[in-house]
C-alpha cells in the first residue's frame, strides 16, 4: 500500500466510523490501524448508552472480544504443535478419551441411536478447522434430536454462558455422550472445535487454559488487558454489554 492510498484509506475510515455512533448503532468504539512505525487510533462515543454518567470511550477502554478467542486458541494449539506436545494429524484420543470410538448419525435429523461407526478418529487438525463432526446447527432445539440433546446437556450449542456452565472435564464427559453429526473431516460446523481445543490445550500443557494463554501469549505480547474476566481494578474501563431484543 503506497502512502497516498494509505492516507486515503485512513481518511475514509475517519469519515465512516463516527456514523455508527451518530446513528446509535453502538454507544462507542475504538479504531486502530498500525503499519510499520505508524499507528492511527480514534476513540469515539461513550462506554454505555445515554445518561449523564456515561463515560467517554478511550483508547484503553476494555471491550469484549467474543469469537476472537478462536484465533488465540489456534495460536496456543500451534505453539504446542511446534513444541511437539501435539501433532496436527494425531488422533485426539490420547488426551481426549471422551472422543474416542465415535458414532456418527446416519442423517443429521435421525434419532441419537441411529448411527454408524466413525470412519476414522478425530484429529487435532479437525478441531482447528471445525471439521470434528460436531458444532453449531442453526436450528430450533426441537428441529433435530441432536440439537435438542446438545441443549439438554448444556455443551455449547449457543455461545452464551448459560450453555457453558460446567467445568472442562464435565463438559467433555457430556459432549462425549453424543454422536457426531457428520464424519470427521466431512463437514464444517462452527464453534465447538475451538471449545474442545481449549480442553486439549489445558491437558497437553498440564495447566489451566487461562494460565497458558497468559503466560505463553498475552504476557510475551504485552496484552495486559486480555483475559477471560476483568479484575475489579479495571472495571472502570469496561464497556457495558447490550443484546438485541426480538
Contacts of 239 (CB under 8 A, 6+ apart): 27, 28, 47, 48, 57, 61, 62, 63, 64
Count CB neighbours of 235 within 10 A: 9
Residue 207 CA to chain centroid, in angstroms?
19
Rounded to an integer, what distance in angstroms lies between the CA atom of residue 54 and that of residue 220? 34
- The catalytic residue positions are 67
Residue keyed to cell 453502538: 26
How open is the CA angle 71-72-78, to the nearest 5 degrees? 85
Rounded to an integer, what distance in angstroms lies between the CA atom of residue 179 and that of residue 108? 10
**Alpha-carbon distances of 49 from 21, 22, 64, 240, rounded to whole Å:** 10, 12, 16, 8
Q: Please say whether the beta carbons of 26 and 10 come within 8 A.
A: no
Rounded to an integer, what distance in angstroms lies between the CA atom of residue 208 and that of residue 226? 16
3-state secondary structure of 234: helix
Q: To the nearest 5 percent, what fractions of the chain are helix, strand and coil?
A: 40, 10, 50
Amino acid at each position: 500500500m503506497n502512502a497516498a492510498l494509505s492516507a486515503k484509506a485512513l481518511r475514509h475510515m475517519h469519515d465512516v466510523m463516527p456514523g455508527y455512533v451518530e446513528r446509535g448503532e453502538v454507544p462507542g468504539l475504538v479504531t486502530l490501524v498500525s503499519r510499520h512505525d505508524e499507528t492511527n487510533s480514534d476513540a469515539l462515543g461513550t462506554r454505555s448508552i445515554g445518561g449523564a454518567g456515561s463515560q467517554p470511550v478511550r483508547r484503553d477502554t476494555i471491550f469484549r472480544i467474543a469469537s476472537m478467542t478462536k484465533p488465540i486458541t489456534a495460536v496456543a494449539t500451534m505453539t504446542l504443535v511446534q513444541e511437539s506436545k501435539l501433532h496436527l494429524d494425531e488422533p485426539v484420543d490420547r488426551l481426549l478419551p471422551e472422543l474416542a470410538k465415535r458414532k456418527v448419525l446416519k442423517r443429521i435429523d435421525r434419532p441419537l441411536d441411529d448411527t454408524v461407526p466413525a470412519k476414522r478418529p478425530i484429529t487435532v487438525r479437525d478441531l482447528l478447522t471445525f471439521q470434528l463432526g460436531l458444532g453449531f446447527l442453526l436450528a430450533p432445539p426441537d428441529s433435530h434430536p441432536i440439537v435438542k440433546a446438545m441443549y439438554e446437556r448444556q455443551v455449547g450449542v449457543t455461545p452464551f454462558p448459560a450453555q457453558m456452565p460446567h467445568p472442562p472435564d464435565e463438559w467433555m464427559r457430556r459432549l462425549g455422550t453424543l454422536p457426531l453429526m457428520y464424519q470427521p473431516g466431512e463437514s464444517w460446523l462452527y464453534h465447538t472445535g475451538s471449545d474442545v481445543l481449549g480442553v486439549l490445550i489445558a491437558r497437553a500443557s498440564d495447566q489451566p487454559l487461562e494460565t497458558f494463554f497468559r503466560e505463553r501469549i498475552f504476557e510475551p505480547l504485552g496484552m495486559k488487558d486480555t483475559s477471560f474476566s476483568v479484575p475489579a481494578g479495571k472495571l472502570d474501563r469496561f464497556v457495558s454489554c447490550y443484546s438485541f431484543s426480538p
